């Protein structure tokens, strides 16, 4: 049986047509045309999702190995010069990364003028609502429902669904005539992407969907929005993309840097899925 599974997995990765693999309970993977699509289903896996960060920047593979994770992807934005976060990260109900302590962010005159937009960028949350865990995607300043609290969250941006919030989250700036005069995170250019979304099912059931858009199929964020829409997701958002886009899952390792022999960009924060305790 093990040999059959490995043969199927290798065949799937070799083909450009879609192929689904259910390697761990609650995690389903599909690969098609350079895009990895993971579906996280069931309530149990919500307890296994954590958001971690490192004082010193490390690669996705290093985070994956040191945490003993089943699945690891990159999450929030950061400043590679001082290695400090630009995105809020909460793990086990404690804020582990706060952009207000990033002096490069706070002293930049252009960014400081738009600080409220940057600090209120969209985040992926796991809420505890009267002992029931729930996924949510919302701007950072958005409150939670009564009897709910944020257990784990990672900020990125922008929101893709239900509406694309490029201007609202300071990813593009337009002049008085509507012309784009500033662009951040290559949102209008084709590049690798790390995306996450939520599909709400019946009886309060939810699925989380992760897309790793590789160098083989780079996308603008408008195309990324359309990808999420094609899967009928209710809400969706982007994490840091471009050369930060990273994935480790079993023997699959995706990096988006182009240099030969590169082990991947050093990053600040990660979403991991821990084995069942």
Q: What pLDDT was estimated at residue 260? A: 61
Contact in structure between 156 and 185 (CB atoms under 8 Å): no
Q: What pLDDT was estimated at residue 267? A: 98
Predicted structure pTM score = 0.91
How far is 138 from 159, CA to CA, in rounded Å? 8
Question: What domain range is 110 assigned to?
Answer: 2-273
pLDDT tens digit sequence for 181-214: 999 999 999 999 999 999 999 999 999 999 999 9
Q: What's the rounded mean pLDDT across residues 3-32?
A: 60
Q: What pLDDT was estimated at residue 277? A: 62
Q: Which tokens is 61 given?
A: 């593979």
Query: At a CB cut-off of 8 Å and minimum separation 6, what does 81 contact?
Result: 104
Higher pLDDT, 10 or 148: 148
Least confident range of 21-30, 59-68, 79-88, 164-173: 21-30
Name the residue among 44, 13, 43 with its Cα closest to residue 30: 13
For the chain, the average pLDDT equals 92
| 60-76 exposure pattern, b = at least 16 Cβ within 10 A, e = fewer | bbbbbeeeebbbbbbbb
Q: What pLDDT was estimated at residue 270? A: 98
Q: What's the rounded mean pLDDT across residues 267-276?
A: 96
| Confidence tier at 15 by pLDDT (50, 70, 90) | very low
The helix/strand/coil state of 275 is coil
pLDDT tens digit sequence for 56-109: 999 999 999 999 999 999 999 999 999 999 999 999 999 999 999 999 999 999
Total of domains in the chain: 1
């Amino acid at each position: 049986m093990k040999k059959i599974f490995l043969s199927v997995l290798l065949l799937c990765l070799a083909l450009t047509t879609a192929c689904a693999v259910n390697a761990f309970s609650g995690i389903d993977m599909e690969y098609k045309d350079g895009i990895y699509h993971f579906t996280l289903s069931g309530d149990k896996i919500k307890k296994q999702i954590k958001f971690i960060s490192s004082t010193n920047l490390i690669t996705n593979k290093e985070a994956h190995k040191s945490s003993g994770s089943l699945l690891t992807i990159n999450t929030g934005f950061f400043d590679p010069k001082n290695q400090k976060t630009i995105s809020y990260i909460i793990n086990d109900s404690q804020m582990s990364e706060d952009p207000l302590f990033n002096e490069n962010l706070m002293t930049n005159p252009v960014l400081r003028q738009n600080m409220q937009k940057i600090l209120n960028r969209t985040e992926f949350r796991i809420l505890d609502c009267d002992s029931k865990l729930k996924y949510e995607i919302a701007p950072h300043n958005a409150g939670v429902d009564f009897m709910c609290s944020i257990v784990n969250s990672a900020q990125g941006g922008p929101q893709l669904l239900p509406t694309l919030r490029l201007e609202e989250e300071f990813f593009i700036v337009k002049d008085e005539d509507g012309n784009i005069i500033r662009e951040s995170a290559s949102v209008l250019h084709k590049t690798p992407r790390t995306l996450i979304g939520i599909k709400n099912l019946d009886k309060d059931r939810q699925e989380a969907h992760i897309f790793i858009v590789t160098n083989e199929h780079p996308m603008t964020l408008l195309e990324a929005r359309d990808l999420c829409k094609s899967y009928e997701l209710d809400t969706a958002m982007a994490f840091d993309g471009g050369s930060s886009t990273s994935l480790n899952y079993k023997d699959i390792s995706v990096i988006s840097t182009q240099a030969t022999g590169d082990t991947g960009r050093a990053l600040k924060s990660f979403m991991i899925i821990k084995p069942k305790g």
